[in-house]
Chains A and B, each alone.
Chain A
Amino acid sequence: MSFPLLTATALVPAVGAIVTAAVPAARRAVAKTLALVFSLITLALAAIVFVRFEPGGDRYQLTESHAWIADFGVRYELGVDGIGVALIALTALLIPFVILAGWNDAEPQETGSSRWRPTQGFFALILMVEAMVILSFEATDVFLFYILFEAMLIPMYFLIGGFGDRAHSGSDQNAAAQRSYAAVKFLLYNLVGGLIMLAAVIGLYVVAGSFSLTEIAEARASGELEMATNTERLLFLGFFFAFAIKAPLWPLHTWLPNAMGEATAPVAVLITAVVDKVGTFAMLRFCLQLFPEASQWATPVILVLALISIVYGALLAVGQRDIKRLIAYASISHFGFIVLGIFAMTSQGQSGATLYMVNHGISTAALMLVAGFLISRRGSRLIADYGGVQKVAPVLAGTFLIGGLATLSLPGLAPFVSEFLVLVGTFARYPVAGIIATSGIVLAALYTLVLYQRTMTGPVKPEVKSMPDLKARELAVVAPLIALLIFLGVFPKPLTEIINPAVEHTMSDVQKKDPRPEVEAAQ
């Protein structure tokens, strides 16, 4: 038996979570360092997964399969395709930065209480989320995936509700109430999605008699397993609803601005850049593969919802007065692009959507973490409380601008590549949808540049006059992310190479071929 690499990649952060949580109260610094070390080991393992994965090889690689609950056919079955590898790499890459950025976010507020260990808890929870997210990208057993999909809500709930943003306009009590509301809203929305998915998982088992994704997909492709049209559609809807809440898609999005606004910036990154990706990932992996017919049946409605998300999210971002809520609404717009790319059912659209998941993760992390550094300096999330920061903290302002330019998909930075692929892939099949989505590029420029103008330019406000520029730790968080945005903007080939074959498989699952160009141009 070969080394269980996939299990190890998820197990290391899980063990790290337990070890970190066990560190005694007084040794907070040790806990932080341990968490960072474990996240770096995970990154190293993810890098090995990335290198070991052969783009031209089998669809699922590095597979592991063990009987788990043999009585009712649940197996511990893992395997990754290129899409999974890319998202595991993203997750493993972002967590060390999340930990480093949140280094001082969870210091105990009052000394003397020896039982409460917020620092240990904070970092243990982050590692716990990482472990579950990575495993959910690897699971090829529907039951296993469902458990993880639900279980990751628990650490997320405590991260949002227990460690809020200290920069709050209201009183402490008021802040705690809003935080708790945001956490409960997050939980309830996702639980409802989970319950409906649960019904669909049971239904799938009733119909297929198995939880194994590969088995069911094979049986479906070979014609052994036929589903009545209505059954397939209902099951599809059950899965899709849960994923659309997590993604989130309009009109199921309202939990996200609350959660991202109230959480600390690193946790907000965890929500939007990592956990939400499980939703869009699952659309590609489970909805399209298990229910190809129903996916096509639902496509028109989903495309409309995606377009609404793009435009509506961007317009709402323009209207925000809170920096973090603005970024949250921008993310809603971006998730619209991802869903659009998936359901355009073209190679360019789906490759672009997968790439979008990775690039959005990096660019939002860069923007949100710098925003977090900014907010921690001034103690306010309101855009109107800033002005002229560029003059006193030019490096902070410069990195914020680059994060913003990535968010508006400037060519040369990674998000442009994925956004253009999504647009061109959509346009090839649905020209009108492609054109509407293209209008999003103006709105993205509007909310980003207005945010930059109001916070960074103009006369220096007295309250920001003594604001220090980025510290070494903060620069160590931002600089690599920016370098990565530039690198993947100019040379995305390492990612597209592994994504392309996976997308080809998905395209053949749904039995779709790319539209041919009208003219075969002379090469």
Chain B
Amino acid sequence: MENLIALLVAAPLLGAAVLLCGGRRLDRSGHWLGTVLAAASFVIGVVLFLDMLGRSADDRALHQHLFSWIPVEGFQADIAFQLDQLSMTFVLLITGVGTLIHVYSIAYMEHDERRRRFFGYLNLFLAAMLLLVIADNYLLLYFGWEGVGLASYLLIGFWQHKPSAATAAKKAFLVNRVGDIGLSIAIMLMFTTFGTFAFGPVLSSVGETGEGTLTAIGLMLLLAACGKSAQVPLQSWLGDAMEGPTPVSALIHAATMVTAGVYLIVRSGAIFNAAPNAQLAVVVVGAVTLLFGAIVGCAKDDIKKALAGSTMSQIGYMILAAGLGPIGYVFAIMHLVTHGFFKAGLFLGAGSVMHGMNDEVDMRKYGGLRTYMPVTFVTFGLGYLAIIGFPGLSGFFSKDKIIESAFAKGGAEGWILGGVALLGAAITAFYMTRVMLMTFFGEKRWQPDAEGQPPHPHESPKSMTIPMVILAFGSVFAGGFFSIGDRFLNWLEPVTGYDHGHAPISAATVTGATVVVLLIGVFLAWAMYGRRPVPVTAPRGSLLTRAARRDLLQDDFNHVVLVRGGEHLTRSLVYVDHTLVDGVVNGTAASVGGLSGRLRKLQNGYARSYAVSMFGGTAVLIAVTLLMRAV
């Protein structure tokens, strides 16, 4: 059975290779090949899952060793896989949502002449993401980590002829590289501390080293997670990444890749458990991002950017939960899975709306669309109810558990984190209701596009709506299914461990409070965007609104300090190199050997003089050695 693991990666990798090298012959069938191979990977995942269910909880991990990757004295890196319950959860999410999004893309990208390449990149992404979650050591994880970064770069910049897309792609890659410094250093620290970076040996020897080292490793892993999962302070790339085609935003920048940071922290739980200071940093990052993303989400008029802010915020919840240690690991992953359903569904819904509205993304130019695209409306609406945590739907169960866990952290820390999580829930309800109202309710504010064509909103074809329906199904039922009889908890506990913590208030109180803040958020949004007409051009807005529209000024900071500063630095260095370094070295040489005179003479262009100087050295050498012999 373990021999199947490699096939999980091999199927989409084959697709990527064939589609990207295959040439135009495959233009007419390539998307089917890509979709079939994604589905094949899903089927293999299901087979492995059923097999795993058949074994006892402590005996579920499978291992497959392919070959030695980098064999160097004292350094052992293998191409080897480990499939346990945590990896399995991701495999099913990645291949399941991935396959649905392949199907959706067939119609969504129908009129793009480079559709074959799009599917090649999607397959490449699946292969890399699967590698990331089934690797059995940190270096191979790094391989997948950068692989998804590459796929993300290629897909954000898929419409490269748009300068904004090309810039966004580059930005995403660069910001992620800053995070990669963290992952590199973490792996190096593991190597010098444990002599290895395979999960098993490292995580089981944590107790033998000091807390200082573990804190350093933990902080470096957190830096990596911040890059990939768009957490403060490395969050700035995610909003721009919405330049990519919408299915990409759904799959990579909502459901799967951006959650890799959560995976990394949960996978490294043993390290964080022994490094409370690193854990504190994790919860702070999670709590700050949770609010940051939510505030940004409130101010954006671009539907995809509002959803991107929301993604940032929801991953903030997961990171927060992961930073709580065994109290929160399981619920971080549970929210990650339910979020995968409803956020992918929301993005696909947004894509469907754009599809019918001449690719317009400004929600101020939507309005009243519910009757024109009923399936999109219903599925998007269910995703909306799920994300705000409407009782009974997926998000209700998973988010509520995180808020409870935050309180259960205990002490002042617990109260603060719980309070932040509750506040976040209120803002989530606000901005998502705003999106819902501006898009599907109110009056039509449709505008003709650049060519003067008025939009003719229509429902999308079946191949797009069916994936949306399936995801909506998950958005509604997954949370309840996971929670009944603590199914999800029992499934993951053998890998992540579990701790109740010390809840200062009862679970029922937390749930009640969550519902109350939810209603407040919805009501405020309705008062602002439902009761009153929405202006087509955005009002100036308060200082906070204006700052939030600009991603709370972080981009402006980056631009002034990093971009401008960097430009000045490199420009002056080019000058220094040309005049100072070159000049000093040449000048020294000249003053030592009178080289400048020779340089001038040589430039006269007599080849003979070069030959003379060349062989002069050899002649001197021979003469001296002969002399040595003589004496």
Q: List residues of A whose CB falls within 8 A of some B CB.
A: 69, 71-74, 143, 146-147, 150-151, 153-154, 157, 180-181, 184, 187-188, 191-192, 194-195, 198, 201-202, 205-206, 250-252, 254, 312, 315-316, 318-320, 347-348, 351-352, 388, 390-391, 398, 405, 410-412, 417, 420-421, 423-424, 427-428, 431, 434-435, 438-439, 441-442, 445-446, 449-450, 453, 456-460, 490-493, 496-497, 500, 503-504, 514-523
Contact with A423, one of B161, B165, B184, B599 (Cβ below 8 angstroms): B184
Indicate whether A522 sits within 8 Å of B569 (C-beta atoms), given known contacts A347-B74, A442-B181, A490-B79.
no
Q: Is B539 on the interface with A (CB-CB < 8 A)?
A: no
Distance between Cα atoms of A438 and B72 in the complex (Å): 20
Q: Mark B613-631, 1 if CB is under 8 A from A, else 0.
A: 1100110111011101100
Indicate whether A202 sits within 8 Å of B584 (C-beta atoms), given known contacts A192-B593, A316-B574.
no
Say how far B274's CB is from chain A's closest CB, in angstroms.
13
Say how far A277's CB is from chain B's closest CB, in angstroms.
20
Say how far B126's CB is from chain A's closest CB, in angstroms.
15
Q: Mark B153-196, 1 if CB is under 8 A from A, else 0.
A: 10001001111011100100110011011001101110111111
**A184-B603, A315-B573, A521-B205 are known contacts; what are 13 more A-B pairs with Cβ within 8 Å?**
A69-B622, A180-B603, A184-B602, A205-B624, A315-B569, A319-B570, A398-B20, A410-B146, A424-B75, A449-B170, A491-B67, A518-B209, A521-B202
Could you list 5 examples of A-B contacts with CB < 8 Å?
A71-B629, A151-B614, A315-B573, A519-B194, A521-B205
Contact A457 B163 (CB under 8 A): yes
Indicate whether A150 sits within 8 Å of B195 (C-beta atoms), given known contacts A71-B629, A490-B79.
no
Contact with A405, one of B139, B150, B196, B213 (Cβ below 8 angstroms): B150
Contact A188 B75 (CB under 8 A): no
Contact B174 A319 (CB under 8 A): no
Distance between Cα atoms of A373 and B166 in the complex (Å): 23
B581 contact set on A, CB distance < 8 A:
250-251, 254
A312 contact set on B, CB distance < 8 A:
573, 577
A198 contact set on B, CB distance < 8 A:
617, 620-621
Q: Is B69 on the interface with A (CB-CB < 8 A)?
A: yes
Distance between Cα atoms of A427 and B628 in the complex (Å): 46
Distance between Cα atoms of A8 and B85 in the complex (Å): 59
| Chain B, range 581-631, C-beta contacts under 8 Å to A | 581-582, 584-586, 589, 593, 595, 598-599, 602-603, 605, 610-611, 613-614, 617-618, 620-622, 624-626, 628-629
Say how far B23's CB is from chain A's closest CB, in angstroms.
9
Contact B192 A453 (CB under 8 A): no
Contact A522 B185 (CB under 8 A): no
Q: Mark B377-399, 1 if CB is under 8 A from A, else 0.
A: 00000000000000000000000
Distance between Cα atoms of A27 and B300 in the complex (Å): 69
Indicate whether A449 sits within 8 Å of B629 (C-beta atoms), given known contacts A254-B582, A518-B192.
no
- The residue on A at minimum CB distance from B602 is A184
Q: List residues of B whose CB falls within 8 A of some A CB.
A: 20, 67-75, 79, 139, 142-143, 145-147, 150, 153, 157, 160-163, 165-167, 170, 173-174, 177-178, 180-181, 184-185, 187-189, 191-196, 200-202, 204-205, 208-209, 213, 566, 569-571, 573-574, 577, 581-582, 584-586, 589, 593, 595, 598-599, 602-603, 605, 610-611, 613-614, 617-618, 620-622, 624-626, 628-629
Indicate whether A315 sits within 8 Å of B201 (C-beta atoms), given known contacts A427-B192, A459-B161.
no
Distance between Cα atoms of A384 and B190 in the complex (Å): 44
Contact A514 B157 (CB under 8 A): no
Say how far A85's CB is from chain B's closest CB, in angstroms.
17
Distance between Cα atoms of A205 and B622 in the complex (Å): 11
Indicate whether A517 sits within 8 Å of B599 (C-beta atoms), given known contacts A143-B621, A198-B617, A442-B177.
no
A69 contact set on B, CB distance < 8 A:
622
Say how far A21's CB is from chain B's closest CB, in angstroms.
16
Contact B617 A150 (CB under 8 A): yes
Contact B195 A181 (CB under 8 A): no
Contact B566 A318 (CB under 8 A): yes
B70 contact set on A, CB distance < 8 A:
417, 420-421, 492, 496
Contact B174 A442 (CB under 8 A): yes
B161 contact set on A, CB distance < 8 A:
388, 390-391, 457-460
Contact with B195, one of A201, A391, A460, A521 (Cβ below 8 angstroms): A521
B74 contact set on A, CB distance < 8 A:
347-348, 514
A206 contact set on B, CB distance < 8 A:
628
A72 contact set on B, CB distance < 8 A:
622, 625-626, 628-629
- 8 shortest A-B CB distances, which residue pairs? A517-B195, A319-B570, A457-B166, A347-B73, A521-B201, A521-B194, A457-B160, A319-B574
B165 contact set on A, CB distance < 8 A:
457
Distance between Cα atoms of A187 and B593 in the complex (Å): 15
Contact B73 A504 (CB under 8 A): yes
Say how far B569's CB is from chain A's closest CB, in angstroms.
7
B173 contact set on A, CB distance < 8 A:
445, 449
A74 contact set on B, CB distance < 8 A:
625
Say how far A443's CB is from chain B's closest CB, in angstroms.
9
Contact B605 A316 (CB under 8 A): no
Say how far A304's CB is from chain B's closest CB, in angstroms.
15
Contact B181 A438 (CB under 8 A): yes
A514 contact set on B, CB distance < 8 A:
73-74
Say how far B587's CB is from chain A's closest CB, in angstroms.
12
Say how far B21's CB is from chain A's closest CB, in angstroms.
9
Distance between Cα atoms of A153 and B624 in the complex (Å): 23
B622 contact set on A, CB distance < 8 A:
69, 72
Contact B181 A441 (CB under 8 A): yes
Distance between Cα atoms of A319 and B204 in the complex (Å): 47
A456 contact set on B, CB distance < 8 A:
160
The residue among B72, B593, B602, B610 with the most chain A CB atoms within 10 A of its own CB is B72
Contact B193 A518 (CB under 8 A): yes
Distance between Cα atoms of A73 and B294 in the complex (Å): 80
The residue among B70, B201, B204, B617 with the most chain A CB atoms within 10 A of its own CB is B70
B139 contact set on A, CB distance < 8 A:
420
Contact A157 B188 (CB under 8 A): no
Contact B192 A428 (CB under 8 A): yes
Contact with B570, one of A250, A318, A421, A445 (Cβ below 8 angstroms): A318
Indicate whether A319 sits within 8 Å of B617 (C-beta atoms), given known contacts A71-B629, A192-B593, A417-B70.
no
Say how far B531's CB is from chain A's closest CB, in angstroms.
45
Contact B589 A153 (CB under 8 A): no
Contact B193 A320 (CB under 8 A): no
Say how far B213's CB is from chain A's closest CB, in angstroms.
7
Say how far A313's CB is from chain B's closest CB, in angstroms.
10
Contact B185 A438 (CB under 8 A): yes
Say how far B168's CB is from chain A's closest CB, in angstroms.
11
Indicate whether A315 sits within 8 Å of B570 (C-beta atoms), given known contacts A405-B150, A446-B174.
yes
The residue among A143, A181, A435, A519 with the most chain B CB atoms within 10 A of its own CB is A519
B73 contact set on A, CB distance < 8 A:
347-348, 351, 500, 503-504, 514
A398 contact set on B, CB distance < 8 A:
20
- The residue on B at minimum CB distance from A388 is B161
Contact A519 B209 (CB under 8 A): yes
Distance between Cα atoms of A17 and B252 in the complex (Å): 54
Indicate whether A188 sits within 8 Å of B629 (C-beta atoms), given known contacts A202-B621, A442-B174.
no
Indicate whether A347 sits within 8 Å of B75 (C-beta atoms), given known contacts A72-B626, A202-B625, A517-B195.
yes
Indicate whether A412 sits within 8 Å of B178 (C-beta atoms), given known contacts A320-B574, A421-B70, A428-B191.
no
Contact B205 A500 (CB under 8 A): no
Contact A517 B629 (CB under 8 A): no
Distance between Cα atoms of A445 and B180 in the complex (Å): 11
- The residue on A at minimum CB distance from B188 is A427
Indicate whether A520 sits within 8 Å of B188 (C-beta atoms), given known contacts A150-B617, A442-B177, A457-B166.
no
Contact with A316, one of B193, B213, B573 (Cβ below 8 angstroms): B573
Contact A434 B188 (CB under 8 A): yes
- The residue on A at minimum CB distance from B572 is A319
Contact B201 A523 (CB under 8 A): yes
Contact B617 A154 (CB under 8 A): no
- The residue on B at minimum CB distance from A320 is B574
Contact with A522, one of B160, B201, B611 (Cβ below 8 angstroms): B201
